[in-house]
């Protein structure tokens, strides 16, 4: 019995830390977050540049037009947080690409917090699905 306890403690000490981490890598954003999001529901009706559009493999918004390369989901006491790794086109020169990161933290089914890091998160509301996207 004592030998089993010593073996269990010794094994636990040498199990890689990664086996306990809550990070999961995805090829795109979960479908639940696809759609148009705005800082205020009234903005959904306008061709406002503060509206962001998310899909499994794309983002468009203030950061420009981006292709989502991968997403890392991290568990937290408040629920999952998503670190979105993107390749974005330069607005003035679409041939020029740059990397960008975005954090998406769901607050509820109709609200998310989005920003380049946790200190810059802004709250966005889901735009109604039946509302057509305005042309810019």
- For residue range 30-65, list pLDDT tens digits in order: 999 999 999 988 888 776 678 999 999 999 987 688
* Residue 53, domain member (yes or no): yes
What pTM was estimated for this model as a whole?
A: 0.73
| Lowest-confidence segment of 15-19, 36-40, 89-93 by average pLDDT | 15-19
Q: Is residue 95 assigned to a domain?
A: yes
For residue 29, being part of any structural domain is answered with yes
Query: Which CA distances in Å does 106 have to 39, 79, 92, 93, 103?
Result: 14, 8, 31, 32, 10
> Does 7 fall in a domain?
no
**Residue 132, domain member (yes or no):** no
Q: How many domains does the chain have?
A: 1
Structural domain includes residue 135: no
d(CA 94, CA 110): 32
Indicate whether 109 belongs to any domain: yes
For 59, phi then psi, to 5°, come to -135, 140
What's the domain range around 37? 22-126
> What pLDDT band is residue 85 in, cutting at 50, 70 and 90?
very high
Q: Is 44 helix (H, G, I), strand (E, B) or coil?
A: helix
């Amino acid at each position: 019995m004592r030998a089993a306890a010593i073996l269990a403690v010794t094994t636990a000490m040498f199990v890689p830390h990664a086996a306990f981490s809550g990070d999961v890598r995805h090829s795109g954003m979960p479908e639940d977050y696809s759609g148009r999001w705005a800082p205020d529901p009234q903005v959904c009706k306008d061709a406002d540049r503060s509206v962001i559009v998310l899909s499994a493999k794309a983002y468009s918004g203030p950061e420009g037009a981006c292709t989502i390369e991968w997403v890392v989901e991290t568990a937290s006491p408040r629920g999952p947080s998503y670190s979105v790794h993107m390749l974005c086109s330069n607005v003035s020169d679409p041939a020029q690409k740059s990397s960008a990161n975005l954090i998406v933290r769901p607050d509820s089914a109709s609200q998310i917090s989005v920003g380049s890091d946790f200190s810059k998160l802004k709250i966005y509301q889901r735009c109604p699905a039946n509302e057509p996207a305005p042309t810019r």
